[in-house]
Amino acid sequence: MPGVAPDAQKALREDRGRGRKQAMLAAARALVPDSFYHGTSVDAALAIQSRGFKTSLSGTGSGTTLLGPGVYCTTSLEKAMGYAKHRQWGGVVLQLHCDLGRCKKLTVDDPLMTSWQEHGYDSAWAPQVRRPGSAVLQHCARGIF
């Protein structure tokens, strides 16, 4: 910038960089979902309503805990309905609003697949992880409900 002292130019560049970084962080936060669905049985839904989620029951409805113990939820209503419809009387889909906290994005064969909780994460997101015969499992959270 002609006519502007080098120190002032540097300060302006750093200020613009901070502005871009803050804008990028705000945009990233806007992309993080806070609304999820959990498909379950009528009895389990009533128990959740009265006593809250029990992570010790992880996988009892689906037969697996691919991401370890926690509350399994998805941003896909259709996926949650799939878990609910295999229940007696059609089941229930709960809509959850939560903050995922420190979320671990898992990859296929991730070494933290079932131990992410032991490494300070509050939740895990597995966008590419599949189990045989299933759609993508999206989120698993602990202690945030």
pTM for the predicted model, two decimal places: 0.67
Residues 17 and 39 placed together within one structural domain of the fold: no
Cβ 39 vs Cβ 76: under 8 Å:
no
Co-location of 6 and 65 in the same domain: no
Instruction: Give pLDDT tens digits for 47-106.
Output: 999 999 887 777 666 666 778 888 888 888 888 888 887 766 778 999 998 888 888 888
Half-sphere exposure of 122 (CA within 13 A, CB side): 9
Q: Token digits for 87?
A: 């229940």
**Whether the predicted pLDDT of 127 surpasses 80:** no
Q: Are residues 136 and 69 in the same domain?
A: yes
> Are residue 56 and residue 98 in the same domain, yes or no?
yes
Is 64 found in the same domain as 106?
yes
Q: Give mean pLDDT, residues 103-131.
A: 83
Q: Does 17 share its domain with 86?
A: no
Range of the domain at 13: 1-31
Place of tokens 């080098």: 6
Residues 26 and 49 in one domain: no
**CATH number (domain holding residue 60):** 3.90.228.10
22 & 81 share domain: no
Bridge partners (DSSP) listed for residue 104: 124
Domain count, the chain: 2
Same domain, 66 and 13: no
